[in-house]
């Protein structure tokens, strides 16, 4: 099913006077795994334990050797193939990829299926079923900060299992959990290993001996001991997982999912979101009033008209800078969320869409607030403004100009979010 053949992983450390310098993290790993077993990988720090897990799921790329799954070599896998594989064939329970804080327990489990294109009704049914298996049905609508550490860990396991993967990869599952919770988590993993391959990295020999069916020890990037070796002589393809061969919909984030994730994130930071939207709305309001003024004064002095156009342009630049800065800050604030999404199969294109959706929402909110404030100002002060601007219908020009401005602002907001979104998409390479 899963074979690591002479896997080598090297990291470049820089260029010295004698040439490029590298560090060998893995030095020719050869392991064949059974379809269903509970494997514990032990070893001292920097022995390559976690690197093996990340290579198996594609978050790290091996330097040489071959990793084959169900008889298929992954040497020719593209990033897109790995994303699809990670969403459908492996489940990850890694300390660095926790839960999305602004989503509920149920939503955190469903997000994996959203990327896989599962329908809403099926998502809900499958999510509740898997949450029942880990005893979390009473916490469906709670946020991660409202549940215990043990419940968080069980939610992560549920998210990893909801797409019925072939392999479950677990890194230090008990961490700082108390003894009772640790034993509960280990029992769940033991139960899962009856039907699936469970690979766990741990430093706890006692738990490994009690629950595992196989213990592999590493030292300095090499396998030094295997308690139950397995060598698959002939492996026949069971399931085609290579994106070039597998039929069906590829893993992808929909626009609605991107908007939902971004809006929930913005709502958890309401004060900051409202402040940025309000500043942007003031700029929008200034532009609207200038547009109305210029529309009603065709014969006004060209010098004054030019000044006002410049002022409107400055306001528009401020809107662009505010939207771009907001998204750029969000890239760092949502770094954890990006890691989680990448770990369950989201592509760089999906991450790009996610942050553009956030920029769109902030820009749209600024437009709505700006138009609302302008309406409030224009209507009761219509008489006074007409004396300054003229006798024509200001409201008519406001509505026409407002529609044009909203469309233009949406385009501007999208453009303002492009660079930060590209940075976020590239940032996913840091996760590998």
What b-and-e string marks burial along 270-308, b requiring 16 or more CB atoms within 10 Å of the CB? eeebeebbebbbbbbbbbbbbbbbbbbbeeeeeeebeeb
- Give me the residues paired with residue 67 across strands: 4
Helix, strand, or coil here: 253? coil
Q: Which domains does the chain have, with CATH numbers?
A: 2-226 (3.40.50.300), 255-431 (no CATH)
Query: Would you state the pLDDT for residue 39?
Result: 96
Q: What CA–CA distance (Å, rounded) separates 56 from 430?
A: 17
Q: What CA–CA distance (Å, rounded) separates 324 from 368?
A: 18
Query: pTM for this one?
Result: 0.79
DSSP class per residue in 168-215: EEEESSSTT--HHHHHHHHHHHHHHTTTSEEEEE-S-HHHHHHH-SEE
Query: Would you state the pLDDT for residue 331?
Result: 75
Query: Would you state the pLDDT for residue 149?
Result: 86
Query: Would you state the pLDDT for residue 110?
Result: 94
Contact 280, 319 (CB under 8 A): yes
Question: Mean pLDDT by 10-residue block, N- to C-terminus, for the chain (432 residues)?
Answer: 90 59 83 94 89 89 90 87 89 84 92 89 92 86 90 91 92 81 89 93 90 94 92 55 48 87 84 73 68 56 58 66 71 81 88 85 77 68 58 52 63 72 67 44
Q: What CA–CA distance (Å, rounded) separates 373 from 134?
A: 50
Pairing assessment for the beta strands 72-73 and 222-226 based on DSSP bridges: unpaired
Rg (alpha carbons) of the chain, rounded to whole number: 27
Q: What CA–CA distance (Å, rounded) separates 314 from 42?
A: 60
**Residue 124 structure tokens:** 């809900």
């Amino acid at each position: 099913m899963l074979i690591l053949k002479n896997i080598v992983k090297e990291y470049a450390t820089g260029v010295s006077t004698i040439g490029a310098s590298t560090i060998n993290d893995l030095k020719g790993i050869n392991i064949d795994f059974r379809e269903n077993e509970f494997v514990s990988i032990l070893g001292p720090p920097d022995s390559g334990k976690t690197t093996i897990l990340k290579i198996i799921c594609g978050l790290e790329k091996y330097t040489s050797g071959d990793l084959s799954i169900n008889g298929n070599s992954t040497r020719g896998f593209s990033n897109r193939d790995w994303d699809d594989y990670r969403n459908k064939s492996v489940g990850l329970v890694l300390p660095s990829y926790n839960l999305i804080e602004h989503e509920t327990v149920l939503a955190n489990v469903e997000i994996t299926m959203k990327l896989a294109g599962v329908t809403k009704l099926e998502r809900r049914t499958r999510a509740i079923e898997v949450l029942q298996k880990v005893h979390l049905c009473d916490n469906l609508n709670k946020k991660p900060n409202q549940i215990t550490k043990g419940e968080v860990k069980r939610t992560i396991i549920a998210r990893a299992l909801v797409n019925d993967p072939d392999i479950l990869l677990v890194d230090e599952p008990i961490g700082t959990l108390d003894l009772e919770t640790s034993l509960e988590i280990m029992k769940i993993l033991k139960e899962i290993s009856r039907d699936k391959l469970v690979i766990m990295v741990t430093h706890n020999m006692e738990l490994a001996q009690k629950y595992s069916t196989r213990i592999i020890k590493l030292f300095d990037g090499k396998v030094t001991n295997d308690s139950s070796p397995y060598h698959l002589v002939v492996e026949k393809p069971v399931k085609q997982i290579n994106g070039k061969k597998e039929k069906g919909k590829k893993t992808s984030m929909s626009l609605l999912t991107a908007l939902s994730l971004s809006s929930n994130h913005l709502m958890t930071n309401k004060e900051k979101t409202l402040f940025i939207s309000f500043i942007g709305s003031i700029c929008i309001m200034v532009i609207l009033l200038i547009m109305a003024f210029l529309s009603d004064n065709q014969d006004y002095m060209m010098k004054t008209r030019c000044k006002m156009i410049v002022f409107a342009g400055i306001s528009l630049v401020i809107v662009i800078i505010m939207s771009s800065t907001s998204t750029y800050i969000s890239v760092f604030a949502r770094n954890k969320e990006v890691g989680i999404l990448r770990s369950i199969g989201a592509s760089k294109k999906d991450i790009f869409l996610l942050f553009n959706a956030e920029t769109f929402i902030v820009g749209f909110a600024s437009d709505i607030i700006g138009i609302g404030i302008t309406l409030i100002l224009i209507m009761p002060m219509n008489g006074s403004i007409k004396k300054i601007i003229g006798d024509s219908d200001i409201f008519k020009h406001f509505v026409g100009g407002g529609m044009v401005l909203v469309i233009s602002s949406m385009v501007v907001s999208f453009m303002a979010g492009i660079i930060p979104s590209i940075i976020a998409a590239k940032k996913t390479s840091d996760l590998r």
